[in-house]
Structure 1
Amino acid sequence: MGDQNRSTNNNENGKISSTFYIVFISLLLDLLAFTMILPLLPSLLEHYRQNDTSGLYDWLLNKISYFQKFVGAPEQSSSVLFGGFLGSMFSFLQFVASPILGGISDVKGRKGVMVCCLIGIAFSYILWALSRNLVLFMVARFIGGLCKGNVSLSMAIISDVSSVKTRGMGMALVGIAFSLGFIIGPLIGAIFAMSTPKITGDWFVAPAIFAFFLSFVDLIFFAIFFQESLPKEKRSNDIWKSLRNAKALIDLRDLFWFQPVSDVKDHDLTKLRRLGVTYFVYLFIYSGLEFTLTFLTHHTFQYNSMQQGWMFFSIGLVMAIIQGSYVRRLPPHKITSTAVQGLWLIIPSFICVGLARQLWTLYLGLLLFAVSTALVVPCMMTMASFYGSPQEKGTVMGIFRSIGALARALGPIFASISFWALGSTFTYLSGALALLCPVLLLKNKV
């Protein structure tokens, strides 16, 4: 309790809580394990294509082939669409789990729920190591997706231990953890991809065990060093009220209406709802165009997997530099205006990418893309964290995270249809035009 009081006093004085750095390290370890599978997915899917005995791979590929033919995608894109299906499934599971876990943590405290999430994530990597067929691999991804509520819980913890002055830095640290995770994690995966034989044998066991090792270290580190950020006197005492999120998962109107959040003034609730819609529209368009970027660079510039890996490495590096040097130092009164500036930047970014026929145009678009992403996401998460009482911070951040996960689940599907049926230029230019909506919503605001 003394640690909690010291943390509270530090927040009131505008000082940085040590909990920020504990959350940062925990998220970084988690994201390193999570992202290292990304460069391995093509080889994993090829492995199961040749070795799956359950029949699930053939059944799923048959369904995906209908979609591939419907949108006019070439035959060789089936594996990419398969990977997109796995990514959408993972995001949809986050959409389901985040509000529930956030609501439970508002009643039971953050630490216990977070530890359960980390145990589930570690277990999913064990199942991956044992996955001799696609069924077990899908079960592993299913469990991992449900337990990914640790991200929204991390944001709720930041809200618990931060003041208005320091919350922006906390959210920026979350953004830096994501950037570094998506820089280093895929490189670790690429090392495994280059150093282990593919397709035959159980080549995936080594990277799966390493991912488990990272997640186990994360679990032990968090269990030892994290002090509960939501003291008992600030918790909700109504478990059923906190679990109204379940209804919001069935009725999307309740989700976007933030129905489970009751301890917020009407004026603030209206602004929170508008912010949720803004975030959904932004991520729906953004994630779809981000997903089709690999199609674009492959077909227009003949990028191979390694070149695409370096492309995303460069994007992540720019994001980490901006978030570490600029975003984390933003004063509270500049959070909203910075998010608006970032949204303005994403529009010319997608225009450049959509019209790119030369590398310099593509690189300019990707640079603007990286700068925009570094500004928008942490700033909008910071804005969301200002709403709700201490008893409902986990619920607010869980719903907000769930809205984002839903957008990431649906965006790639619609963008893929547009990309293959209407062309890359139309898709990116229409996406850039549609991104005026979140800009105007946020300007009129929040």
Structure 2
Amino acid sequence: MRLHVVFLLATVTLNAMGIGLILPVIPDLIRDVTGQPLSQAALIGGVLSTVFATMQFLFAPFMGRLSDAYGRRPVLLGTLAIMVLDYAVLALANTLWMLVVARMIGGFASSTQSTASAAIADLSEPGHRARGFGLISAAFGLGFVLGPVLGGLLAELGTRAPFWAAGGLCGAGVLLGLMSFPETHAAANRRPVTWRGSNPFGAFRALNRLPGLTRSLIVYFLYNVAFGTYPAIWSFFAQAQFAWSPAMVGLSLGIFGISFAVVQGGLMGLILRALGERGTAAMGLAVSAVGFAALGVVSNGTLVLFFAPIAALGATYAPAQQALLSQRLGPDEQGALQGVLTSTVAVAMMVAPALMSQVFAHFTAPERINPLPGAPFLLAMLLVLAACVLFVWPRRAPVVA
């Protein structure tokens, strides 16, 4: 594999690691900085996660347009350098506002998957781009697995150790890019940045051109809010319910990530052939509801790890639903559909941390006699059950004049 492709994949992996790296240590980091109990730390964690997701939502289209105007190389190298600064701020933070600023910087700087994908498209022949995009997705998945595991293991050396290590990796990525990554976007093909192209809400304008999708998008949104409970609450839940260390939290998140990769990469085709797309989507919703219900009441830390395959099977809903929606539209509307779906997920990832952290804080407050750390997962179960009802409810047949 050529060195500049390795740089692209490493950049995507590092960005994905940044999302998961903080998860095992975020409860201890917040309590270390603020001195608040776990329930209040969860509220602050929800704010930080929402800030991060909001910055990604706002700036992902802008990053793509910026690379169209000024080239892929300065955007990728610049954002990696910014990530070095971000991790340094997290490692040194001793006030809440420093954590908020760091998460804002991280959300902005990690919005470069679209730029890496554009660089892969620049380097590939039109008929051979699918393999490159597949490598980008695989690199993102690898980072999402490695981030929590690395964060949990390094946390044994101290709450701030994962951030120093991540900053060093990003610094090494900058050096690799300076030595090996050429500009892939020809000057003749560049175009200026425009507000219309950089507007993150632009995808929702496509709803006017995609009639009849409202119910499906509501189901998709409810599912993704429920699914967002995992990254939003898992670290706090694991501490409150099982008294797990950051290393164990990271290991558990790694097991979940590997389970998702096995299902999405190996079993998805078999399930689709057996149940079809609609059956697979329905199964994903039903299994998700069962998994959330179990997590809401489980008290055995070892047993909870066996729910990872159940959670992974629940994740089959999203790709099956995407396939169902794509079949209802012509080839000229596929891009608009993907834009709407991506924006729907982004908004759900902004809502989930704020909502679920409030629920967790309420049900684990120090004054509660019988705390219920699994309450966010029970709420997630209710959201998925509502999505199930909407998904299977018969559609009104069109009136024929």
> For the residues of structure 2 that align with 1:229 and 1:275, how far apart are their CA atoms?
38
Kindly indicate whether the alpha-carbon contact (under 8 Å) linking 2:283 and 2:317 is maintained by their aligned counterparts in 1.
Answer: no
Describe the superposition over 1:348-380 as per-residue Cα deviations: whole angstroms up to 9, x where unpaired.
133233145566985564313224447846996
Distance 1:43 1:298, change over 3 A: closer
The worse-fitting range, judged by mean Cα deviation, of 408-417 and 221-230 is 221-230
Q: Could you tell me how far 1:242 is from its partner in structure 2? A: 4.9
Which residue of 153, 163, 170 corresponds with 1:191?
153
Determine helix, strand or coil for the equivalent of 2:25: helix
- Residue 26 of structure 2 aligns with which residue? 41
Select 1:257's aligned residue among 202, 205, 219: 205
Q: Residues 1-400 of structure 1 correspond to what in structure 2 (within 5 A)? A: 22-49=7-34, 76-158=38-120, 161=124, 167=130, 169-196=131-158, 204=160, 206-235=161-190, 237-240=191-194, 242-243=196-197, 245=199, 248=201, 254-258=202-206, 280-288=221-229, 291-294=232-235, 305-323=246-264, 341=280, 344-355=283-294, 357=297, 362=304, 365-373=307-315, 376=318
Deviation at 1:131, TM superposition (A): 3.4
Aligned partner of residue 260 in structure 2, secondary structure: helix
In 1, the alpha carbon distance for the partners of 2:250 and 2:308 equals: 14
The one-letter amino acid paired with 2:380 is: Y
String of CA shifts for 1:283-327, please: whole Å, max 9, x gaps.
223213553455655666665655433321211122334455577
Cα-to-partner distance string for 1:127-155 (whole Å, 9 max, x where unaligned) = 33443444334323222222121123234
CA shift, 1:104, in A, is 2.4
Assess if the C-alpha contact under 8 Å between 1:92 and 1:409 holds in 2.
yes
Asked whether 1:429 is paired with 2:381, we answer: yes
Does the CA-based 8 Å contact 2:223-2:383 persist in structure 1? no
SS class of match (1:90) = helix
- Contact in 2 for aligned 1:153/1:398 (Cα 8 Å): no
Structure 2: how far apart are the matches of 1:43 and 1:221? 33
Instruction: Give 1:433 deviation, angstroms.
Output: 1.7
Match of 1:55 in 2: none
Matched-pair contact (CA < 8 Å) for 1:352–1:364: no
CA contact (8 A) 2:51 2:100 kept: no
What CA distance in whole angstroms lies between the structure 2 residues aligned with 1:338 and 1:223? 45
Q: Deviations over 1:83-125 (max 9, x none)?
A: 2221111111111111222222333333332222222222222
Q: Quickly say closer, same or farther: Cα 1:208–1:365, change in 2 above 3 A.
A: closer
Which consecutive residues of structure 2, in runs of 5 or more, have no partner in the other structure?
A: 364-371, 396-401
1:36 deviates by 2.8
TM-score, structure 1 normalization? 0.65
Please tell me the residue identity of whatever aligns with 2:68: D
Deviations 1:412-446 (A, max 9, x none): 223345565794575133122234389679x9xxx
Distance across 2 between alignment mates of 1:363 and 1:183: 15
SS of the residue aligned with 1:47?
helix
C-alpha contact 1:30 1:214 (8 A) present in aligned 2? no
Would the aligned equivalents of 2:7 and 2:173 in 1 still touch at CA under 8 Å?
Answer: no
Match of 1:56 in 2: none
TM-score under structure 2 length normalisation? 0.71
CA contact (8 A) 1:156 1:397 kept: no
* CA deviation after TM superposition for structure 1 residue 410, in Å: 0.9
Instruction: Report the 3-state secondary structure (helix = DSSP H, G, I; strand = E; otherwise coil) of the residue aligned with 2:112.
Output: helix
Structure 2 CA distance, aligned partners of 1:256 and 1:156? 22
* CA 272–345 in structure 1, closer or farther in 2 if over 3 Å, else same: closer
Counterpart residue type for residue 103 of structure 2: R
Q: Out of 408, 421, 444, which is 2:349 matched to?
A: 408
* Equivalent pairs, count: 372
Aligned counterparts of 2:330 and 2:182: Cα–Cα separation in 1: 23
Structure 1 position 344, deviation (Å) = 3.5
Gaps of 5+ in 1: 1-15, 51-60, 62-74, 199-203, 249-253, 260-265
How many angstroms apart in 2 are the aligned matches of 1:231 and 1:149? 22
Structure-2 separation of matches of 1:101 and 1:413: 25
Q: Report if aligned partners of 2:4, 2:177 keep a CA contact under 8 Å in 1.
A: no
Change (3 A) 1:354 1:273: closer
Indicate conservation of the 8 Å contact 1:118/1:219, yes or no: yes
Q: Secondary structure at the match of 1:239?
A: coil
Amino acid at match of 1:215: C
Aligned mates of 2:112, 2:331 — CA distance in 1: 19
CA 1:285–1:292 in 2, change beyond 3 Å: closer, same or farther?
Answer: same
Residue 39 of structure 1 aligns to a residue in which SS? coil
| Aligned position for 2:399 | none
Q: Say if 1:176 and 1:319, in contact at 8 Å, map to a contact too.
A: no
Q: Is the 8 Å Cα contact of residues 94 and 402 (structure 1) preserved in structure 2? A: no
Q: What's the secondary structure of 1:257's corresponding residue?
A: helix
Task: State the shift of 1:343 in Å.
Answer: 6.8
Q: What code does the residue aligned with 1:430 have?
A: L
Q: Distance in 2 between matches of 1:340 and 1:220?
A: 48
The separation in 2 between residues aligned to 1:221 and 1:271, in whole angstroms, is 48
SS for the counterpart of 2:39 is: helix
CA contact (8 A) 1:323 1:375 kept: no
Q: Percent identity among equivalent residues? A: 22
